[in-house]
């Protein structure tokens, strides 16, 4: 088996060991959870900032604890990052990274397939501070060169895109960015560092909603920002302090604990997801399936080139059924819950209308787009549930 990581250890081993220090914690396998606001200072000189003691120092709960470090160290190890900053949610990770590197007068290019709250932040906050936000076709590749202005500072990628699952030509875009001195950020929540290593593709900063697969149990919210360079890490860490951003100790603990089993969970999500995607492809009610790991599906070639696996989230486009008929399917599922977020052990279903969101591209499909998160249930039971849903859909149109 080839060694896939620069340090020599393979990724499953890294996930199991990174960020834990039993030798420093009386032998306890798991790192302790430090609940903290005040951390007592050793001296007046320390309080005045005149004396910096030897070794690791902690000053205040918000600024970092052994608990935040444990999670950040684990993410850094699996992604090959120079440094990781943890924050209170995936969205906070996105917004903090944007504000660190953007200022009034700057121009930022954002993929048209981006997670909707990312767009909302661009449209409602960045624009209010005089930053110009422009959306680009996720399929643009090297053509992004035509959109670059003197003021372009950041290119924001998400691959595959939320809801619609276009796979971007990441190296083609980062190559143009590097030539022009532009920073690239990617939302790597879907693949996790387990299935995509953005730094190998020239990306500067990788952003995670750890809420999803790191946590893996739908019971905590956390964000992580991974940086290829120490310089970018230092800037984001400073910005985090200025904004007062931090993650809670129990959420940090749950996220690092979730990472210990992430590889087995992801393999199961992948296998069941592909099985169900393949089954959906044969259904008469389905216009097409949008799962990058499925041969023939949109983005499959780029996915094969750049990714080492697929997680459990994908979508399919229904034929053009009326809303009331689609609701008959959606509203009575037995196993699939309907809700935002994903990455937990349970399956979810979510209807959407990408045509109402996009601005740089048009979404040509008339039917509803349905996003599925395939959990850890037996996929045969999930197929039965979907099958009953399709029966209701067809019955509703008569």
Ligand X SMILES: *Cc1c(COP(=O)(O)O)cnc(C)c1O
Catalytic residues: 62, 115, 187, 212
Residue range at the interface with ligand X (CB under 6 A); choices 12-20, 207-215, 237-245, 273-281: 207-215
Q: How far is the CB of 185 from ligand X (least distance, A)?
A: 12
Closest CB to ligand X among residues 115, 136: 115
Q: Which of 64, 83, 90, 198 binds ligand X (CB under 6 A)?
A: 90
Binds ligand X by CB under 6 A, chosen from 15, 74, 91, 157: 91
Q: Pick between residue 303 and residue 321 the one whose CB is nearest to ligand X.
A: 303
Secondary structure of the chain in HEC code, one letter for each residue? CCCCCCCCCCHHHHHHHCCCCHHHCCCCCCCCCCCCCECCCCCHHHHCCCCCCCCCCCCEHHHCCHHHHHHHHHHHHHHCCCEEEEECCHHHHHHHHHHHHCCCCCEEEEECCCCHHHHHHHHHHHHHHCCEEEEECCCCHHHHHHHCCCCEEEEEEECCCCCCCCCCCHHHHHHHHHHCCCEEEEECCCCHHHHCCHHHHCCCEEEEECCCCCCCCCCCCCEEEEECCHHHHHHHHHHHHHHCCCCCHHHHHHHHHHHCCHHHHHHHHHHHHHHHHHHHHCCCCEEEEECCCCCCCCCHHHHHHHCCCCCCEEEEEECCCCHHHHHHHHCCCCCCEECCCCCCCCCEEEEECHHHCCCCCCCCCCCCEEEEECCCCCHHHHHHHHHHHHHHHHHHHC
Count of residues interacting with ligand X (CB under 6 A): 13
Q: CB-wise, 16 or 123, nearer to ligand X? A: 123
CB 189 within 8 A of CB 118: no
Pick one of 86, 152, 162, 184: the residue that binds ligand X (CB under 6 A): 162
Place of tokens 């190559």: 175
Stretch binding ligand X (CB under 6 A), from 25-33, 125-133, 204-212, 383-391: 204-212
- To the nearest whole angstrom, how small is the minimum distance from the Cβ of residue 288 to ligand X? 21
Handedness of CA 207, 210, 214, 216 (dihedral sign): negative
CA 364/CA 351 separation, integer angstroms: 16
106 binds ligand X (CB under 6 A): no
Residue placing its CB nearer to ligand X in the complex, 78 or 224: 224
What's the residue count for the chain?
Answer: 398
- Per CB under 6 A, 152 contacts ligand X: no
For the bound state, the minimum distance from the C-beta of residue 382 to ligand X, rounded and expressed in Å, comes to 20
Query: Is residue 187 part of the contact set for ligand X (CB under 6 A)?
Result: yes
Instruction: Choose which of 14, 157, 221, 310 interacts with ligand X (CB under 6 A).
Output: 221
Q: Do residues 76 and 84 lie in contact, with contact meaning Cβ atoms separated by under 8 Å?
A: yes
Distance CA 73, CA 78 (A): 9
Least distance from C-beta 115 to ligand X, angstroms?
Answer: 4
Q: What is the closest distance, in whole angstroms, from the C-beta atom of residue 111 to ligand X in the complex?
A: 11
Q: How far is the CB of 83 from ligand X (least distance, A)?
A: 20
CB-nearer residue toward ligand X: 258 or 389: 258
Q: Is 113 in the site for ligand X (CB under 6 A)?
A: no
> Under the criterion CB under 6 A, does residue 89 sit at the interface with ligand X?
yes
Instruction: Out of 211, 226, 256, 315, name the contact with ligand X by CB under 6 A.
Output: 211
Residues 293-352 that bind ligand X (CB under 6 A): 341
67 vs 162, beta carbon nearer ligand X: 162
Min dist. Cβ of residue 114 to ligand X (A): 8
Task: Determine if 354 is a binding residue for ligand X (CB under 6 A).
Answer: no
- Check if the beta carbon of residue 389 is closer than 8 Å to that of residue 332: yes
Q: Which of 113, 189, 245, 315 binds ligand X (CB under 6 A)?
A: 189
- Should residue 115 be labelled a site residue for ligand X when binding is judged by CB under 6 A? yes
Nearer Cβ to ligand X, position 119 or 212? 212
Binding range to ligand X, per CB under 6 A, among 89-97, 127-135, 291-299, 370-378:
89-97
By the criterion CB under 6 A, which residues form the site for ligand X?
89-91, 115, 162, 187, 189, 209, 211-212, 221, 223, 341
């Amino acid at each position: 088996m080839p060694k896939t990581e620069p340090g020599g250890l393979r990724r499953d081993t890294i996930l199991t060991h990174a960020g834990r220090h039993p030798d420093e914690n009386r032998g306890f396998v798991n790192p302790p959870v430090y609940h903290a606001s005040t951390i007592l200072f050793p001296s007046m000189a320390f309080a005045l900032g005149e004396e910096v003691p030897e070794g690791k120092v902690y000053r205040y709960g918000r600024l970092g604890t052994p608990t935040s470090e444990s999670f950040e160290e684990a993410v850094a190890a699996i992604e090959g990052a120079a440094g990781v900053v943890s924050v209170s949610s995936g969205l906070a990770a996105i917004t903090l990274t944007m504000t660190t590197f953007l200022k009034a007068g700057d121009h930022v290019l954002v993929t048209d397939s981006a997670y909707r709250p990312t767009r909302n932040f661009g449209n409602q906050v960045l624009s209010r501070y005089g930053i110009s936000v422009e959306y680009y076709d996720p399929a643009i590749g090297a053509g992004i060169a035509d959109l670059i202005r003197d003021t372009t500072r950041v290119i924001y990628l998400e691959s595959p895109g939320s809801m619609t699952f276009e796979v971007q030509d990441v190296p083609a875009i980062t190559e143009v960015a590097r030539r022009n001195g532009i920073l690239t950020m990617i939302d790597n929540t879907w693949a996790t560092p387990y299935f995509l290593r953005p730094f190998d593709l020239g990306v500067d900063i990788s952003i995670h909603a750890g809420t999803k697969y790191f946590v893996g149990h739908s019971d905590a919210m956390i964000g992580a920002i991974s940086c290829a360079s120490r310089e970018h890490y230092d800037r984001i860490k400073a910005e985090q302090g200025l904004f007062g951003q931090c993650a809670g100790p129990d959420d940090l603990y749950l996220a690092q604990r979730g990472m210990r089993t992430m590889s087995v969970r992801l393999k199961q999500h992948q296998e069941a997801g592909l099985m169900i995607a393949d089954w959906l492809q044969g259904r008469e009610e389905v216009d097409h399936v949008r799962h990058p790991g499925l041969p023939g599906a949109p983005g499959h070639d780029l996915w094969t080139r750049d990714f080492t696996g697929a997680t459990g989230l994908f979508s399919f486009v229904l034929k053009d059924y009326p809303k009331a008929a689609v609701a008959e399917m959606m509203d009575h599922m037995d196993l699939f819950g309907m809700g935002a977020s994903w990455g937990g052990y349970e399956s979810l279903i979510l209807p959407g209308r990408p045509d109402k969101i996009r601005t740089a591209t048009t979404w040509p499909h008339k039917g509803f787009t349905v996003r599925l998160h395939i959990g850890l249930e037996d996929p045969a039971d999930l197929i039965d549930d979907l099958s009953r849903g399709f029966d209701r859909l067809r019955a509703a149109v008569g």
